[in-house]
């Protein structure tokens, strides 16, 4: 058995959310030993009859807070698998996840995702985690989800496909939205006429230089129209 290139551990009180990650490319990557994905139930590190993971907030307020103890024991155990893991807590209060974040995280040998629920995790967990690894609080975007699970799945998919060997043809990674800071050009396939809509002539011309120019123009035009913020970022 070849050593796995990247190990990803997930801590969640809803591990079955992640069943979908056995499908498709990431499933194949796990079968091939390129990706070692371990989804663990945080309640496995509780030691009371009710397997309690939350409690009322000090200082009062609505909702419940995740207790620190299960996180501490779980992180101690998982962190031993590598020298210094990157420990990611999805949070709407974190830095925003981008393709650049995915590229950075895809180079790490060991990632641990800690999925919070309820009103969040006791703050001391983040401080403690920083003593056993490098902590990152990462947001999927400026909106609130019910917990970190869906954000973690999105991040694992974005990171996983950048791990060498996961996507069969690495060229297909290069020409995608966000890889060069622009949105992707439009794609067409057969038939060349469908419901009175024709495929642009240039794509049928066989003129590769003209096709490349047209695609670049389309990328710029779409980005200017849909995401002008991306063009101004390029000037920065
Ligand atoms: N948990 C709740 N909302 C989130 C968000 N927007 N990104 C990451 N994790 C979250």
Beta-bridged to residue 66, according to DSSP, are 54, 121
pLDDT in tens, 61-75: 999 999 999 999 999
Closest of 9, 21, 34 to residue 166, by C-alpha: 34
| Mean per-residue pLDDT, 21-48 | 93
pLDDT (0 to 100) of residue 1: 47
pTM of the predicted model over 0.85: yes
pLDDT for the residue numbered 175: 77
197: tokens are 């809509």
Q: Minimal CA–CA distance to 85: which of 134, 137, 12? A: 134
DSSP letter string, 62-102: SS-EE-HHHHHHHHHHHHTTSSS-EEEEEEEEEEEP-HHHH
* Structure tokens, 109: 């040998």
pLDDT greater at residue 174 or residue 12:
12
CA of 234 to the centre of ligand 1 (A): 27
Q: Whose C-alpha lies nearest to ligand 1, atom 10? A: 91
Q: What is the pLDDT of residues 105-155, one digit of tens each?
A: 999 999 999 999 878 999 999 999 999 999 999 999 999 999 999 999 999
- Reduce the DSSP state of residue 2 to 3 states and report it: coil
**Total residue length of the chain:** 236
Ligand 1 pocket mutation pick from 147, 152, 154 by most atoms within 8 angstroms of CB? 147
φ, ψ of residue 102 to 5 degrees: the values are: -60, -45
d(CA 199, CA 145): 39
pLDDT band for 236, please (50, 70, 90 cuts). Answer: low
115, 53 contact by CB (below 8 A): no
Instruction: Report, as an integer, the average pLDDT of 212-219.
Output: 98
Per DSSP, the three-state class of 102 is helix
State the pLDDT at residue 177: 81
Q: Report the separation in Å between the CA atom of 157 and the middle of ligand 1, taken as the mean of its atom positions.
A: 16
Category of 118 on φ-ψ map: left (φ > 0), alpha (ψ -120 to 50) or beta: left
């Amino acid at each position: 058995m070849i050593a796995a290139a990247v190990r990803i551990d997930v801590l969640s009180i809803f591990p079955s959310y992640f069943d979908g990650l056995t499908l498709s490319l990431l499933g194949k990557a796990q079968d091939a030993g390129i990706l070692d994905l371990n989804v663990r139930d945080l309640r496995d590190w509780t030691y009371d009859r009710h397997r309690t993971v939350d409690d009322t907030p000090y200082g009062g307020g609505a909702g419940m807070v995740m207790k620190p103890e299960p996180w501490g024991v779980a992180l101690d155990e998982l962190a031993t698998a590598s020298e210094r893991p990157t420990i990611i807590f999805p949070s709407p209060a974190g830095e925003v996840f981008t393709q650049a974040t995915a590229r950075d995280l895809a180079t790490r040998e060991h990632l641990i995702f800690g999925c919070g629920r309820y009103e969040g995790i006791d703050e001391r967990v983040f401080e403690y985690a920083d003593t056993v690894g490098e902590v990152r609080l990462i947001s999927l975007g400026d909106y609130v989800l019910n917990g970190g699970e869906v954000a973690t799945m999105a991040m694992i998919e974005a990171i996983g496909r950048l791990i060498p060997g996961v996507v069969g043809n690495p060229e297909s990674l290069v020409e995608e939205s966000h890889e060069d800071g622009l949105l992707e050009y439009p794609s067409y396939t057969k038939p060349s006429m469908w419901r009175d809509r024709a495929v642009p002539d240039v794509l049928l011309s066989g003129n590769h230089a003209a096709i490349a120019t047209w695609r670049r123009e389309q990328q710029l035009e779409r980005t200017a129209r849909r995401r002008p913020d991306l063009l101004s970022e390029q000037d920065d």
